[in-house]
Copies of this chain bind each other. A is one copy, B any other.
Amino acid sequence: MSLDPDPPAELVPSERATGPGGGDMDPEAFRDAAHRVVDLLADYLASVEGRAVFPPIEPGSIAPRFPAAPPERGEPLDAILADVERLIIPNLTHWQHPGFFAYFSTTASGPGILGELLTAGLGQNPMLWRTSPVGTELEGVVVDWLRQALGLPDTFDGLITDTASTSSLTALAAAREAAGLDVAARGLSGRDFDAPRVYASEQAHSSIEKACMTLGLGRASVVKIPTDVDYEMDVVALERAIADDRAAGRTPVAIVATIGTTSSTAVDPVDAIAPIAERERLWLHVDAAYAGPVALIPERRAAFAGWERADSIVFNPHKWLFVPFDASVLLTRRMDALHRAFSLHPEYLRTLDRTSPVRDYNEYQPQLGRRFRALKLWIHLRWFGLEGLRRRIDRHIDMAQAFASWIDDAPDWERLAPVPFSTVCFRWDPGGLGGAELDARNTAIMDAVNRTGEVFLSHTRLANRFTIRLSVGNLRTEPRHVERAWRLLRDAAAAA
């Protein structure tokens, strides 16, 4: 159908796609192909528990199994899906496995996967209201739902980012502007202030240090405040560090408090830190990337006391809220400072919508382009309801507390940190072994357990001791998986 009265000769109708290597997969071919992929994925999810969580793979052994050169001609779906089963699935670390106890879990819930499928197929980019009206407005709705769910006041607004790394970087960039340093415009070089400082405990996540590297503050700007025996920030040391820096002419900018540190899930005393931030007029950023969702449960909010006084809070729905990676939420009382840090108005992004009461989210974060992440969050929250999510988080905490009690009751095992949430830090210690020897034996125990493929643990160091971590957070984890981990650990210790 030519709609032009004078169709130019050089434009002939293009071929329809009838197979690979042609044009796009047309909607019916897509339908057929996608149904096949759904079955492949459902089969994977049904079988994942039978797989080794971390399979025995030699580093560097996978890449050589793929062709070194790109395909010149298109290939049929059969060949591609066969290779998904042959080359991809056997070489995954199975984050979806109920025996995944390493790091902090990320589960991709069923409804969350549906959300990602729709996000991909609907092809949105909510950088401007105009480029995705519902992508933009639903983000506001979902962020506010989450704010309410966490029990935070409506002075908090926010946005969805990819990771806590980006959320914390965004917060610290805003902190620079809120401190009046005018860095977005003038930069940090050759200015009349010296040595910006960001205070975080020595247990804070590496993303804080990385954000400071990226932001041009440098690792040198991060003042690592000592922690107490429970790995919580020493508030007296914090006050002293700020006073010393002021006395030396340095420029305090922000304090980062962590609710649920990565190593041991320690809780910095935010209720004691917030008044210091207020008195010193420093931005207070709370990193609750892992533990944040616990605040969905009103009875468990004691750990979060004072966080409502923060300037910004990050928590990751892709961790303990079971939303597929990636989804981080930055809540803030200072959207204006984010805007000063990141707003630009090139002509090709100007729209007539700017006079209206809508927001162009790209002006509040480092990236211009944005995924439509609100969609999967909205579907996920509606499927589970807050009640369903609370119940699961509660059960995870119960499982971890039970595991902690087994450690506490076992004479040859030692718990190495409090367990405020669902992560247990521990080691085998039968007595009589020195530090290096004990570290080596615990490393061997963890490796032996991981080699069984039934569970997957990771480690950290606490007070210079090799520390095994068991973090409960996968949606599919049942008590029997935690029990099995404990059995495997004892077996490995007996054989060590």
Residue-wise interface mask of A (318-334) relative to B, using a CB-CB cutoff of 8 A (1 in contact, 0 not)? 10001011100000000
Which of A57, A94, A130, A375 neighbours the largest number of chain B CB atoms within 10 Å of its CB? A130
A191 at interface by CB-CB < 8 Å: yes
Known: A96-B122, A149-B70, A163-B368. A206 touches B356 (CB 8 A): no
| Contact in complex: B38, A70 (CB < 8 Å) | no
Known: A188-B189, A218-B185. A45 touches B63 (CB 8 A): no
Known: A3-B484, A74-B384, A210-B368. A14 touches B478 (CB 8 A): yes
| Contact in complex: A210, B33 (CB < 8 Å) | no
A140 at interface by CB-CB < 8 Å: yes
Residue-wise interface mask of A (331-364) relative to B, using a CB-CB cutoff of 8 A (1 in contact, 0 not)? 0000000000110101111001100111000000
Min CB–CB distance A440 → chain B (angstroms): 12
Q: Please give, as numbers and ranges, the residues of chain B lying within 8 Å of A209 by CB-CB distance.
A: 344
Of the candidates B220, B356, B483, the one whose C-beta lies within 8 Å of that of A11 is: B483
| Contact in complex: B28, A46 (CB < 8 Å) | yes
A173 at interface by CB-CB < 8 Å: yes
| Contact in complex: A221, B369 (CB < 8 Å) | no
A240 at interface by CB-CB < 8 Å: no
Q: Please give, as numbers and ranges, the residues of chain B lying within 8 Å of A368 by CB-CB distance.
A: 163-165, 206-207, 210
Q: Which residue of B lies closest to A368 (CB)?
A: B165
| Contact in complex: A342, B213 (CB < 8 Å) | yes
A129 to B60, CA, bound (A): 9
| Contact in complex: A116, B114 (CB < 8 Å) | no
Q: Please give, as numbers and ranges, the residues of chain B lying within 8 Å of A55 by CB-CB distance.
A: 133
Which of A42, A44, A349 neighbours the largest number of chain B CB atoms within 10 Å of its CB? A42
A125 to B173, CA, bound (A): 26
Of the candidates B69, B263, B386, the one whose C-beta lies within 8 Å of that of A72 is: B386
A395 to B40, CA, bound (A): 35
Q: Please give, as numbers and ranges, the residues of chain B lying within 8 Å of A87 by CB-CB distance.
A: 134
Q: Which residue of B lies closest to A296 (CB)?
A: B70
A482 to B2, CA, bound (A): 10
A479 to B14, CA, bound (A): 8
Known: A42-B27, A117-B41. A66 touches B141 (CB 8 A): yes
| Contact in complex: B20, A63 (CB < 8 Å) | no
Known: A71-B386, A121-B41, A145-B69. A25 touches B214 (CB 8 A): no
Q: Which residue of B lies closest to A84 (CB)?
A: B118
| Contact in complex: B24, A60 (CB < 8 Å) | no
| Contact in complex: B482, A325 (CB < 8 Å) | no
| Contact in complex: A113, B34 (CB < 8 Å) | yes
| Contact in complex: A262, B46 (CB < 8 Å) | no
Stretch with Cβ within 8 A of B (4 or more), from A192-200, A227-235, A270-278, A304-312: A192-200
A379 at interface by CB-CB < 8 Å: yes
Of the candidates B72, B135, B341, B353, the one whose C-beta lies within 8 Å of that of A213 is: B341
A30 to B358, CA, bound (A): 35
Q: Please give, as numbers and ranges, the residues of chain B lying within 8 Å of A108 by CB-CB distance.
A: 120-123
Known: A63-B137, A213-B341. A387 touches B72 (CB 8 A): yes
Q: Please give, as numbers and ranges, the residues of chain B lying within 8 Å of A392 by CB-CB distance.
A: 23
A399 to B479, CA, bound (A): 61
Of the candidates B58, B72, B348, B478, the one whose C-beta lies within 8 Å of that of A385 is: B72
Min CB–CB distance A99 → chain B (angstroms): 11
Q: Please give, as numbers and ranges, the residues of chain B lying within 8 Å of A352 by CB-CB distance.
A: 447
Min CB–CB distance A217 → chain B (angstroms): 5
Known: A13-B478, A60-B357, A134-B92. A109 touches B218 (CB 8 A): no
| Contact in complex: A216, B219 (CB < 8 Å) | no
| Contact in complex: B342, A214 (CB < 8 Å) | yes
Residue-wise interface mask of A (256-292) relative to B, using a CB-CB cutoff of 8 A (1 in contact, 0 not)? 0000001100000000000000000000000000000
- Chain A residues 89 to 136 lying within 8 A of chain B, measured CB to CB, are 89, 91-96, 103, 106-114, 116-125, 129-135
A436 at interface by CB-CB < 8 Å: no
Q: Please give, as numbers and ranges, the residues of chain B lying within 8 Å of A38 by CB-CB distance.
A: 31, 34-35, 38, 117
Of the candidates B73, B122, B447, the one whose C-beta lies within 8 Å of that of A89 is: B122
Q: Please give, as numbers and ranges, the residues of chain B lying within 8 Å of A71 by CB-CB distance.
A: 381-382, 385-386
Sample of 10 more A-B contacts, CB < 8 Å, known A75-B383, A96-B122, A163-B368: A13-B479, A60-B137, A69-B145, A116-B120, A162-B162, A162-B367, A205-B346, A213-B342, A263-B347, A326-B371
Give me the 5 closest cross-chain CB pairs, A-B, nearest first. Answer: A216-B216, A187-B218, A25-B110, A116-B120, A11-B479
